[in-house]
Amino acid sequence: MEPRSFYSLLFLLLALASVNSVHGQGTRQGFYSSSCPRAESIVKSTVQSHVKSDPTLAAGLLRMHFHDCFVQGCDGSVLISGSNTERTNFANLGLRGFEVIDDAKTQLETACPGVVSCADILALAARDSVVLSGGLSYQVPTGRRDGRVSQASDVNNLPAPFDSVDVQKQKFTAKGLNTQDLVTLLGAHTIGTTACQFFSNRLYNFTANGPDPSIDPSFISQLQSLCPQNGDGSKRVALDTGSQTAFDLSYYNNLRRGRGILQSDQALWNDASTQKIVQGYLGLIRGLLGLKFNVEFGKSMVKMGNIELKTGTDGEIRKICSAIN
């Protein structure tokens, strides 16, 4: 075996071992192995079925898990419907995939009534969405319980598309996540879309001289045609131009080219402390491109998935994910 091939294989084996050995505080792998042995397979098959019909749901489920964990912790509070709940906040109006979680919950209540939490279903669905989009699988520790509080006002501290790197760091640090986690988790924007209203400010009168100067000049006209000035702010645009359904490195490559869509995304390349992490994901030898990112993404997802957990006797196991018992 050639040295390069040997080291590639060694890195792969170490990487896979690393992903599979990560565990959380208060949760554990195989939590439902006795109480509901088919829990993970039921969630997986449900997500597969829905994503096969609509591939864009993968990004929706991944994003929903992020939005859940950053508000009240990973407790499924984003799933609760009703007036003034998290779902009604402006930042969450674009979330998609609630029907997938509801479908999985219905099946799980038939198989194992009152056992599997909605928070765990969402965490598992996010992982399965990554895999279905071409990403590397990772083990999801389970054992979360569902929260009983969901308030629209609590969503105001969610990371925003206009945040600077410093503000993003503050918000991630408050949740126990570091700069590596920040850059890695934003890599989830390799799939999915955003609305014109979240970045069109960069295209017109951003400065006295016109558009945001960090945008590749040859890319501006394309974005302006997608989001005309005073146009439909709800129109959806790919976060990762040219690769919106593939979990790959294209998102980071676009940042390097000045083609990040959100201001908060492009800021990762413009700040020295985060640029070096982006460069680290882009700078590996050809045969390993994407592997390091996939491994780190799994680690950071597990870390995020254990923010402010409710376990043991805290919270509840909802019968219906959209309603408190």
Active site members:
67
Classified as helix, coil or strand, 312 is coil
Amino acid at 146: D
Structure tokens at 322: 């959209």
Taking residue 13's Cβ as centre, other Cβ atoms within 10 Å add up to 10
Is the sign of the CA dihedral 268, 273, 279, 281 positive or negative?
negative
End-to-end CA distance of the chain: 59
Ramachandran area for residue 141 (φ above 0: left; ψ -120 to 50: alpha; else beta): beta
Reference 144, options 106, 172, 116; nearest CA is 116
Ramachandran area for residue 185 (φ above 0: left; ψ -120 to 50: alpha; else beta): alpha
In which element (H, E) is residue 318 found?
none
